[in-house]
Structure 1
Amino acid sequence: MASRITAARAFLVDVAVETVRTDAVQSFLKQETIFVEITTEDGLSGLGYSYTIGTGGRAVLSMLRDHLVPQLVGLDSDRIEAVWFQLFASTRATTTGAITSLALAAVDTALWDIAAKRSGLPLWRLAGGFRRDVPLYDTEGGWLHLPTEDLVAGALASKANGLSGVKLKIGKPTGHEDLERLSAVRAAVGGNFDIMVDANQSMTSTEAIRRARQFDGLDLAWIEEPLPADDIEGHVRLAASTATPIAVGESMYSAAQFREYLDRGAAGIVQVDVARVGGITPWLKVAHLAETFNVHVCPHFLMELHVSLVAAVPNGRYVEHIPQLRAITRTEMEIADGRALAPETVGLGIDWDRDAMEDRIVE
């Protein structure tokens, strides 16, 4: 069959952060970008990727080189579900977990790149084709180290540029500090503008309940990752205590985890991340699962890829504006009237700069 895989390789590229990024528990050190390139009998090639924010990239690369990539040659690239399942099954000793999911994602996105090229379609059409343009919110102006005046200036700039909202980090030592910062932004942008907040899993359930009540008058779009991702019971209690939607997903690594959150009413926004959930294949399953619960999908990070997936599904609500690939791409995600446009080029739609990537290969 012309679609059989003839060659595959994995490599690691380090991409420096574009700006200082801090939250309540960590700093974004760099983007360790793990690539998988797959070639088929008929001469098609797909380039998929995954990432970490500074640690573990070599562990993901080792999983790929030692265990996953050697299985690919001879497999049918058109049978994406079969390939994903075979690789997943071969790593059951390490699933469900970040390293395996990140490695699977690099392979799976490469296969979807090939599938879209073979079909002559852009990813957003192949994956569902609901609509091309999607709302956009900004994260880059909301980091925890920024003073209040910078948060206000960033939010006003985003609003002036037609974006629909901004995300601000929370997790200052006291809730009053967070409240003062958020209140200043709300006063500046007015009511017809979304403000999301992100605690990065930094709180206990009781503290999260307390702060959510402090924020009651701010009409927040959501509270993101208030608790550790494995504290489902805490999320259930928090969600029941506030009218503000609770957003989770960037630290969840299987569709089954999302099912439990949704079934128990612990998540009002799903933020499934292609890299962390294991690729486009499970991402779409999570998105459609969320649709059956009447819940929106607002994925974490990876805007250059997620724009196509949010555009593909009916419950795609937002793309997060947080550019990180400009050093290794020739063009940027298209934005028109404050909305992100899914690329119409066939494949994933990311215009990789291979020379820039080669310059940054570290292993």
Structure 2
Amino acid sequence: MAARKLPVVIVGGLHADARRAAVDRLLAEVPGSVVLHHDLATAAAGTVVRTVRDAGGVRSAGEAPLVNDCACCALREDLVPELERLADAGTVPLAVVELWDSVEPKAMAEVVTAGGLTVTGVITAVDPALVLPYLANGDDLAEGGLAAAATDQRTVADTFARQLEYAPVLAVADSPEADDEDRELLAQLHPTARQVPIGHGGPAGPPSGPAATAPADPSGSAGATPSALVRAAFAGFDVEAAAAAQHPACALLPAEADAHGVSTLVWHRRRPFHPERLYQALEDLTCAAARSRGRFWLADKPDTLLHWDAAGGALCVEGAGPWLASLPDAAWEMVPPVRRAAAALDWHPEHGDRCQHLVFTSPGLDRDGLARLLESCLLTDAEYAAGRDAWKRLPSGFDTLLEV
């Protein structure tokens, strides 16, 4: 399916004031652009409210019925046809999809692309002063009226973390409450993101200066040089590469860092974890940092790549498929090239791509204590020397957790 030429930028984030400021600034700086927004707050009444607006106000509004009692499903069914209508009209230089609070950009970027449209940017709007409070918030989305479906069991913390880490661009509000620690935490959580300032997190007023005359064409040929936010909206986005970057086997995790009271510990080992000792330490490890993630392996499950994902004092551990070292050579052709490349860069002569690669980021991180706790969960020299047949007989606390 040939992609329609309408550029689509997705702007999301739980920080609603910052998100709206970013959206309003795009409307003001790209003449003729429109914003599509689906309000899922009305889902309990059985509908999702769709609004299409431009810099002058609301152009149209309507309702989309729930699909299978799922507000996000209704959004998916309604969004692409609306974008197709705008694309066919041929008069809109940029369509801005403003996601509702808890909707995650990954799913919507994939829906838009699958619908034959071109996603040219994915932006998450952030208020630096709210990063730590949201990462520390282990409440269910439903408790705050933010659930996208009756079955939505996500928390504020894990939803915010995924919104933040998926987007290659962060629209950062100039929050007077934010300090150096807040800004450093944001930088360490997503060090590869391009940060674009958007002013204060309140509603954006009309731009002044060069941005006021920024052309819809980001090349700048028709007027003054576009703002950084406009350039980010048109920069281009690779949905497949973004998905690969989130896979635990090849995710580009943060590097070691320590500044302004915030630290990132990268813990990398080859020896497997003792399943029972690691299970007993899970609570302490989960609470040791505001955010931790990565991949690991257990001695009694040497073929399974396990994904570690913790935020808000809650940990999700799940199987993410096999380690490549456990696959027959013939199966490697079915593995995406990016996965094979990541494994080759970190290959061990005995264990292949099996490893412990966990990253912990937090203000006030007890790096030494955390490292000692992690080391204590590995097999001892004697346990390691006993070999794989003995490892598989070790008691495991993970069978129930992993449902295997």
TM-score interval, smaller chain: under 0.3
More strand, by proportion: 2
TM superposition score normalised by structure 2: 0.25
TM superposition score normalised by structure 1: 0.27
Larger Rg: 2
Structure number with greater CO (CA < 8 Å, separation at least 6) is: 1
